[in-house]
Amino acid sequence: MEGTYDFEAVERKWQRRWEEAALYAVRAGDSAEKYYCLEMFPYTSGELHMGHLRNYSIGDVLARYWRMQGRTVLHPIGWDAFGLPAENAAIERKIHPADWTWGNIRAMRKQLQRFGFSYDWSREIATCDPSYYQWTQWLFLLLYDRDLAYRAKAPVNWCPRCRTVLANEQVEAGRCWRCDGEVELRELDQWFFRITAYADRLLEDLDRLDGWPERVKVMQRNWIGRSEGVEIDFRLEGSDTLLSVFTTRHDTVYGATYLVLAPEHPAMGEILTRSPVADRVRQFCDRVMRERAIRNESPEPLSKEGVDTGLRAVNPLNGERIPIWVGNYVVMEYGTGAVMGVPAHDQRDLEFARQYGLPVRVVIQNPERSLRAEEMTEAYTAPGTMVNSGPFDGLPSDVGQERVAAYLEEKGLGRRRVQYRLRDWLVSRQRYWGAPIPLMYCDRCGIVKVPIKELPVLLPQDVDFTPGGRSPLERHEGFVNTTCPRCGGSARRETDTMDCFVCSSWYFLRYISPHEEEAPFSRQQASYWMPVDQYVGGVEHAVGHLLYARFIVKVLHDAGYLPVDEPFHRLLTQGMVVLGGAKMSKSRGNVVTPDEMVRKYGADTARLFVLFAAPPERDLEWSDRGVEGAWRFLNRVWRLVRTKSEEWAGGTEGRIPEVVDPDSPAGELRRRLHQTIRRVTRDIEHRQQFNTAVAAIMELVNDLYAHLDVRDVPMAVWKECLDALCLMLAPFVPHLAEELWEMLGHEGSVHQAKWPEYDPQVARAPQVTVVVQVDGKTRDRLEVDAEVEEQELLALVLHRPRVAKFLQGRRVLRTVHVPGRLINLVTAGDDRPNE
RNA sequence: GCCGGGGUGGCGGAACUGGCAGACGCAAGGGACUUAAAAUCCCUUGUCCCCGUUGGGACGUGCGGGUUCGAUUCCCGCCCCCGGCACCA
């Protein structure tokens, strides 16, 4: 008889049975409570990596657990299938992007199935499938109709390597998220989604997302970057042109000693015609803009540079004439592209002022220590008392802030304003492998929508992928030329495709009714299934995907398609899988693939290891030894069940005796079992800490082994323990659990059995270990009745020699008793009179 | 700079609401089984000190303080690591 089980045969056997029985197919039920368990769907790169294995193993534990708890569980999977790598494959390897993608899907589907995840495969979707992207296009038109999609010329991030534009969320430290190449700024006509219109709601509703990790919420808050301030209208001297500035420190407006404009500022034309040093200013602007175009953002801020235009602006509050400068530290994308320089109370302004010898004027006085403008090397940014501020003198700065704002609004010199860091979402891409934007340009009618009935706008197959400056679609006459549905004249199609994040911003809704032909999803089904109860995925999507999906759901909610306005109730962001402390990558050569693991140890071992080696949120250090440990454990379980089930082969009926003495080995075993059930249930359900759940099961198995040779444990008790053991293992190692469940004589799938319940009476220990401390130091421990009273316990304790030893020459002042845990004797020495 | 998260044995990590620090696993050492090895099963394993032994004691959760009968856990000040944001006015 072998000492290890044949994982290959076992896993193949049960995967086939599950498939035949369509065990994980689900329909909206009306009686059972639903549970929508979702993991971030994979990009169709062609291979599954350890991150996927971890992601999907976590999701599968939850899906299987809740199914056993009686919920109606929706657990779908699909493919994020549009995107650049497919097109690059076409260019490099002369494969059509569609063939490449569908081939990858086939391979990855096989890999996923090999791991035995409990997906409802009848709901599989792919974003590159016309029956899917038809509805992505529908979504675009919905946003267009609601004035949330617009076309604008704007400086946008351009990746020269990928030959396309990128959203702000796809630029990381000035580099492209995909190819890591440097990103340039280009002035282009592009399609945007007006996500800024939802900025406030996206921000406020974060407070409702109790089931989200704090750090993701913080990242979204930072990204949205709301700040309240005032726009103040300075006037260009000798002109009616207003130079408005945005500031959050309007209480310091009397301290403005100059004004700085961004080089791209719209008033620059007028300034250049009037400036006595126009040439210098022009040269400066050109240089700064050129430098910015090659956005090689170093981590260090650029040194501040500027040039005096020789012109003046008028401060609307005190009528003061202050010089207008152009500076490289002012950006056009934020606020108004102009700032007032208040060197005394802003560090950047102070640096700039000192560099160019501009005056510094204190207008907020530090109540602690009087500020002197000439001596300042650090701006004073804390609250204080207003000075040199005309009618506002003497006010605390926070009050002054209110007054200045009110005054400006009253006189029509400015207005309160909320400013966001968040920009609109750039969704155009100049590439082929994406969902075409369903619009056309008619000479007579302008921009015209493709009628919903005519969707999808299909991607043509026969396209020339040779790299060029523009989208391959643009060179496809058959695609571009079309007829205007409004006037019947000739029209040209939009050739930009959509950012693949548009596709992934609603895919969780398509799973709900994936075969629906009349709509992106059934409203009725969506109101049953939404929101997603548990979303699992990597934290790298914190400000991209997760923000977009929230935005799109709010739009659909507002348009009446969804009852909910947040997509994901709980979010679990799992850590990376690392080896030697570094992320696995081909270039580092430290990659271990899930396929290798399955081949060597099987799916159950691989899954168990990734769940056991670290808590889900933390990074997981890969360890081949650790995998072996998981494999050993599973065999240990298998041998145990096999031994016992053979022992009672032929008849094991028998009941657990009505009364099992809690002090007998059988009673002890049952107690450990019920304690384990309590721990495992809590760890999965409330703490989502699967490593400790597995550890608890391992402890139970160790206990069962320790009782293997104990004679007077009734078979029925063994049966109870082993049954529950299988049930608890089922979410983690679904194949082996089935096999053992069958060995134990059960009919039907363990995954359709009920999760075990613990009996608090059985779990309760009649005797407990109480720790005895003297002055907070542990000196002894003793077994006592769980219910023991303090007085009785104290009497016992005082007679213990180990305790008495430490009480010599001291008297007990008081005792602290934590029932069932500890008793602490607080003493004072007799030899120290003052105590 | 600001905001999050983290720092515990040789390693991955436990410790619920302030109550036995180091569960579970890995590694290491020892024993049983075996002709032998592998596999398996059992035991030991934070550091230091005292003791011939049974045993006993001190220290110990990044560092320094504090609160408390008692602190990995709470508070104050610092150091280091990871992540996010950053001329954002």
CA distance A128 to A137: 12
* A334, closest nucleotide (Cα–C1'): B88
Tell me the torsion sign for CA atoms A207, A213, A214, A220: negative
Rounded to whole angstroms, the distance from the CA of residue A226 to the C1' of nucleotide B88 is: 10
Rounded to whole angstroms, the distance from the CA of residue A798 to the C1' of nucleotide B55 is: 21
Rounded to whole angstroms, the distance from the CA of residue A615 to the C1' of nucleotide B47 is: 28
Half-sphere exposure of A325 (CA within 13 A, CB side): 24
Rounded to whole angstroms, the distance from the CA of residue A201 to the C1' of nucleotide B19 is: 45
CA distance A48 to A62: 21
Tell me the torsion sign for CA atoms A757, A761, A766, A767: positive
Total length of chain A: 835
* A626, closest nucleotide (Cα–C1'): B26
CA distance A633 to A702: 10
CB proximity list for A659: less than 8 A, separation 6 or greater = none
A44 close to A105: Cβ distance less than 8 angstroms: yes
Confidence class for position A1, pLDDT limits 50, 70, 90: very low
Q: Which residue has the tokens 């302008």?
A: A446
CB proximity list for A552: less than 8 A, separation 6 or greater = A139, A505, A506
Res. A96: pLDDT tops 90: yes
Q: Which residue is nearest to nucleotide B1 (CA to C1')?
A: A347
* A617, closest nucleotide (Cα–C1'): B5
* A539, closest nucleotide (Cα–C1'): B83
Rounded to whole angstroms, the distance from the CA of residue A795 to the C1' of nucleotide B48 is: 35
Rounded to whole angstroms, the distance from the CA of residue A754 to the C1' of nucleotide B87 is: 60
Candidates A41, A38, A46, A39; CA nearest to A105 is: A46
The whole-chain average pLDDT of chain A stands at 90
Three-class SS state of A345: helix
A166 CB neighbour count, 10 Å cutoff: 21
pLDDT at A834: 38
A392 CB neighbour count, 10 Å cutoff: 21
A575 close to A622: Cβ distance less than 8 angstroms: no
pLDDT at A583: 79
Res. A833: pLDDT tops 60: no
Rounded to whole angstroms, the distance from the CA of residue A416 to the C1' of nucleotide B13 is: 52
A144-158, A362-376, A448-462: range with highest mean pLDDT:
A448-462
Q: Which residue is nearest to nucleotide B13 (CA to C1')?
A: A614
A579 close to A586: Cβ distance less than 8 angstroms: no
Confidence class for position A293, pLDDT limits 50, 70, 90: low
Bases of chain B below 7 A from a protein C-beta are 3-5, 11-15, 19-21, 23-27, 39-43, 56-58, 69-71, 83-89
* A824, closest nucleotide (Cα–C1'): B69
pLDDT at A830: 53
Rounded to whole angstroms, the distance from the CA of residue A702 to the C1' of nucleotide B43 is: 14
Q: What type of residue is A756?
A: P
Average pLDDT value for residue range A206-235:
90
CA distance A814 to A811: 9
Backbone angles phi, psi at A189, to 5 degrees: -85, 120
Rounded to whole angstroms, the distance from the CA of residue A168 to the C1' of nucleotide B13 is: 38
* A687, closest nucleotide (Cα–C1'): B16
Q: Which residue is nearest to nucleotide B69 (CA to C1')?
A: A826
A532 close to A38: Cβ distance less than 8 angstroms: yes
Q: Dump the DSSP string for A599-622.
A: HHH-HHHHHHHHHHSS-TTS-EE-
Confidence class for position A832, pLDDT limits 50, 70, 90: very low
Rounded to whole angstroms, the distance from the CA of residue A618 to the C1' of nucleotide B64 is: 29
* A780, closest nucleotide (Cα–C1'): B20
pLDDT at A289: 81
CA distance A135 to A129: 10
pTM above 0.90, yes or no: yes
Confidence class for position A409, pLDDT limits 50, 70, 90: very high
* A615, closest nucleotide (Cα–C1'): B13
CA distance A24 to A734: 13
Rounded to whole angstroms, the distance from the CA of residue A798 to the C1' of nucleotide B56 is: 20
pLDDT at A808: 78
The per-residue pLDDT for range A51-73, each reduced to its tens digit, is 999 999 999 999 999 999 999 99
* A246, closest nucleotide (Cα–C1'): B89
The per-residue pLDDT for range A259-282, each reduced to its tens digit, is 999 998 999 999 999 999 999 999
Backbone angles phi, psi at A128, to 5 degrees: -90, 0
The per-residue pLDDT for range A70-86, each reduced to its tens digit, is 999 999 999 999 988 88
pLDDT at A648: 76
Q: What angle do CA A207, A213, A216 make, to 5 degrees?
A: 80
pLDDT at A298: 47
Structure-token pair, residue A774: 């003297």
Res. A652: pLDDT tops 70: no
The per-residue pLDDT for range A480-521, each reduced to its tens digit, is 999 999 999 999 999 999 999 999 999 999 999 999 999 999
Pairing, β A149-159 against β A164-166: antiparallel
Q: Which residue is nearest to nucleotide B3 (CA to C1')?
A: A218
Rounded to whole angstroms, the distance from the CA of residue A59 to the C1' of nucleotide B25 is: 23
CB proximity list for A167: less than 8 A, separation 6 or greater = A157, A425, A426, A427, A499, A501, A544
Q: Which residue is nearest to nucleotide B83 (CA to C1')?
A: A215
DSSP A533: E
* A542, closest nucleotide (Cα–C1'): B84
Confidence class for position A820, pLDDT limits 50, 70, 90: confident
Candidates A407, A414, A253; CA nearest to A345 is: A253
Rounded to whole angstroms, the distance from the CA of residue A547 to the C1' of nucleotide B73 is: 34
Supply the ipTM of this predicted assembly: 0.94
Structure-token pair, residue A13: 């056997």
Rounded to whole angstroms, the distance from the CA of residue A563 to the C1' of nucleotide B52 is: 81
CA distances from A497 to A138, A181, A194, A431, A691 (A): 14, 21, 17, 6, 43
Res. A827: pLDDT tops 60: yes
Q: Dump the DSSP string for A645-679.
A: HHHTTT-------S---TTSHHHHHHHHHHHHHHH
Q: Which residue has the tokens 């340039």?
A: A184
The radius of gyration of chain A from alpha carbons, rounded to an integer in Å, stands at 35
* A818, closest nucleotide (Cα–C1'): B19
Backbone angles phi, psi at A436, to 5 degrees: -60, 140
Res. A654: pLDDT tops 80: no
Q: Which residue is nearest to nucleotide B40 (CA to C1')?
A: A3
CA distance A743 to A5: 13
The per-residue pLDDT for range A21-39, each reduced to its tens digit, is 999 999 887 678 999 999 9
